[in-house]
Structure 1
Amino acid sequence: MKYRSHLTRSLLAASLLTASLHAVATERVYVGSTGTAPLSAIQAQGDRAARAAAADGLITARINGAPFVATKAFAYESVFQLDGRRYLGIEHGPTERGRALILSIPVKNGDSHVRDGHYEFGLPTAPPEGVKPEMALGEPVDAPPPFVGFAVFNADSGWIDLKFNADRTRLDATFEFEAAGEEFGDRIIRKGSFSMPYTDLPDSVVPEA
């Protein structure tokens, strides 16, 4: 399994900052090699902070055999800052160890929204339909000042099965994946599942390029 020491999408950086660390926009994230989250990406998540206060979603999993539980979870459709493409993502409230699960599934080429189905992680390249899902686990780590320490374990293998309810206001899933972090060790996530409220962007909204 390959360890990636930097965040490949601004979504992941912003999610880690806002959902798990509650960091201010001027802080940086230390992830083996240093990286930063664009201010615009952080500000774009402001409306989801209010949504989290009322969210009733629940995520459970086993990480290296130990329980992972996250409440105040919800799913949403948004737009990548880098390429203007729509994607499905999740957020959740703080966990006991400050861990964060991050999910990114782009909308299939020619489709309007992400659909029910089985999605594989760890693909070397995007398939013809353009869907290359990503899932990651973030964990706090020690870091030199003024950095906020956070290690990111990207899924190099695994899967997720999605199921929307009839009016697409709720999303259920089961998932498993594996990731490695060199000096931070391996992370094996098993028996993962979630059930949470979901919100699509209106069809009339045209993502900005």
Structure 2
Amino acid sequence: MDLTRDANFRIAQGGLQALSVAAVVADDHFKIHLNALVPAAVERLDDGKQPVRDAARQLLITLMEVSSPTIIVERAGSYAWTHKIWRVRDEFVRTVASAVGLFASTEISLQRVLLSPVLQLMNDSNQSVRDAAISCIEEMYKHMGSQSHEELQRHNLPSYMLKEINSRLDKIEPKVRSSDTAMQYKAVESRGNAGM
């Protein structure tokens, strides 16, 4: 873990890459270290060197693979969504957009967990963060289809924001049919209601 904090960017990058490999090899045994790894990876999203930021993003994605994308997004999000440094927010939203692309078919609840914080970042003071947020919403739409419009309506967005989002989404062809996403959401909701 100390290697990830090293001032030498090559050492920090190597430490993050080694942790990604270790997470894959150790699988379930690595989960006990999530409370230390997730904040460390989030903090490196602000590094001045892009290779270190890329390695931190890859570590977060790898942790999502060996654990649960929703759990990692929730844990990392507690640090990253409102981080005081804009680059952390920006890189985290980009990481989440990648996660949506990778895990959308297996982790339906992921998109519900992150829609609200992503929408809040559309009002961020930094343009790069706002652009990353809209790109993330576009990625969700690619994988959710028309269901994303229904989710957006639940958030009572200002009309100007909804208009901007819809104009961007109208240019995108979803990868799933509307009937597919409706069936997936009904299955997820029925499982969620069964546990209550």
Query: TM class, shorter-chain normalised?
Result: under 0.3
More helix by share: 2
> Structure 1-normalised TM-score?
0.24
TM-score by length of 2: 0.25
| Higher relative contact order (Cα pairs below 8 Å, separated by 6+ residues) | 1
